[in-house]
């Protein structure tokens, strides 16, 4: 897929959870086609931060020519992105990597599992699936209910189930413990994004239930285009590959985790 380097205007940037901002950028000239699960490398407007930061595409609004990013503030780069204000200009390189396979694989009953800010690419995926008449089921986990982000937005596209470690929203426990949903429904594909222990648990659950599963990995990245070799993952079929170029989304059958 062709990559573009674009200067986009900040339309809005507002906090939507503890330490999490929603950055909305607008293009005057339209946005290229993008697949859910792909990401952008955003140039950080700070002299302290040299490398672009990889951030998943959270939503696309084709009518308004806007693109959204859900950003958790963890260091200087994300703090500088959170400080952007309406009218500022941001340089982005996109779309990068390979997204979820929904455009090339038949799916009828998808389960979208997210943890923390890992829910980010699943809103765009939900938009895309719903646009094709497929109602996704979302299953999100967090330490508490406040950390499950943008619930109302996700509920526009599908059904939302939650687990929290303190029991303050949904069922108590981890996503793979959600008995009401997982014991009563069947799914033909799982798409997941979140912390690695969650992805491994989800992958094992999918294997046990004979369900196809794709996970989005969030390795530390620099160039984002396969040039610096700093984001390598060992795969069963091709050995070491760059997550930024071959991923970030992988079918779990390819990952050594499950071999
Ligand atoms: C493909 C991809 C998509 C991503 N999508 C999103 C997104 O939609 N929203 C979002 O908030 N973040 C996302 N991230 C993570 C985000 O890129 C990092 O949090 C960001 O680069 C940190 O930059 P910083 O300068 O603020 O922090 P730094 O100063 O670089 O790091 C601060 C702390 O965060 C840790 N850290 C940095 N990057 C990562 C990482 N990739 N995984 C785990 N720990 C890390 C560092 O080890 C350090 O402890 C994504 C990462 C990848 C690879
Ligand atoms: S980030 Fe440079 S090769 Fe992946």
CA of 15 to the centre of ligand 1 (A): 18
38 forms bridges with which residues in the sheet?
A: 36
Q: Is the CB of 97 under 6 A from ligand 2?
A: no
CA of 144 to the centre of ligand 2 (A): 33
Residue 245 Cα: closest atom of ligand 2: 4
The reported pLDDT for the residue numbered 46 is 86
Query: Which residues of the chain register pLDDT less than 70?
Result: none
CATH class (in words) of the domain with range 4-96: mainly beta
Residue nearest to atom 34 of ligand 1 (CA): 74
Cα separations (Å) of 23 from 9, 34, 56, 61, 129? Answer: 10, 18, 12, 13, 23
Q: What is the 3-state secondary structure (H, E, C) of the chain?
A: CCCEEEEEEEEEEEEEECCEEEEEEECCCCCCCCCECEEEEECCCCCCCCCCEEEECCEEECCCCEEEEEEECCCHHHHHHHCCCCCCEEEEEEEECECCCCCCCCCCCEEEEEEHHHHHHHHHHHHHHHHCCCCCEEEEEECCHHHCCCHHHHHCCCEEEEEECCCCCCEECCHHHCHHHHCCCCCCEEEEECCHHHHHHHHHHHHHCCCEEEEECCCCCCCCCCCCCCCEEEECCCEEEEHHHHCEEEEHHHEHHHC
The reported pLDDT for the residue numbered 69 is 98
The reported pLDDT for the residue numbered 38 is 98
The pairing of beta strand 232-235 with beta strand 239-242: antiparallel
Q: 11 near 25, Cβ under 8 Å?
A: yes
pLDDT in tens, 231-242: 999 999 999 999
The reported pLDDT for the residue numbered 259 is 78
Enumerate the domain spans of the chain. 4-96, 110-216
Q: To test the ligand 2 pocket, which listed residue (41, 93, 230) has its Cβ within 8 A of the most ligand atoms?
A: 230
CATH class (in words) of the domain with range 110-216: alpha beta
The reported pLDDT for the residue numbered 258 is 82
Tell me the ligand closest to 122's alpha carbon. 1
pLDDT in tens, 99-142: 999 999 999 999 999 999 999 999 999 999 999 999 999 999 99
Residue 80 Cα: closest atom of ligand 1: 26
Q: Please list every protein residue whose CB sits less than 6 Å from any atom of ligand 1.
A: 39, 49, 53-56, 70-72, 74-78, 117, 120, 218-221, 248
The reported pLDDT for the residue numbered 1 is 85
Residue 228 Cα: closest atom of ligand 2: 2
**C-alpha angle 166/172/174, rounded to 5°?**
100
Q: Give the pTM.
A: 0.96
Percent of the chain with pLDDT over 70: 100
């Amino acid at each position: 897929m062709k990559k573009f380097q674009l200067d986009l205007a900040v339309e809005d940037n507002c906090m939507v959870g503890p330490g999490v901002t929603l950055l909305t950028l607008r293009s005057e000239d339209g946005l290229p086609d993008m697949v859910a699960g792909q990401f952008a490398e955003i140039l950080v407007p700070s002299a302290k931060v040299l490398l672009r930061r990889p951030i998943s595409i959270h939503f696309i609004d084709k009518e308004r020519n806007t693109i959204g990013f859900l950003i958790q503030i963890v260091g200087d780069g994300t703090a500088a992105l959170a400080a952007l204000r309406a009218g500022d200009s941001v340089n982005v390189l996109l779309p990068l990597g390979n997204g979820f396979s929904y455009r090339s694989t038949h799916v009828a009953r998808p389960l979208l599992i997210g943890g923390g800010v890992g829910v980010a690419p699943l809103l765009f995926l939900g938009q895309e699936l719903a646009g094709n008449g497929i109602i996704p089921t979302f299953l999100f986990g967090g330490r508490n209910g406040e950390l499950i982000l943008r619930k109302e937005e996700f509920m526009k596209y599908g059904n939302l189930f939650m687990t929290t470690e303190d029991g303050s929203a949904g069922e108590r426990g981890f996503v793979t413990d959600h008995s009401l949903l997982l014991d009563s429904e069947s799914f033909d594909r799982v798409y997941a994004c979140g912390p690695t222990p969650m992805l491994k648990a989800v992958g094992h659950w999918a294997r046990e239930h004979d369900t196809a599963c794709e996970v989005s990995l969030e390795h530390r990245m620099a160039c984002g285009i396969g040039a610096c070799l700093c984001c390598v993952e060992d795969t069963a079929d091709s050995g070491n590959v760059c997550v930024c170029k071959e991923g970030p989304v992988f079918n779990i059958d390819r990952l050594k985790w499950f071999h």
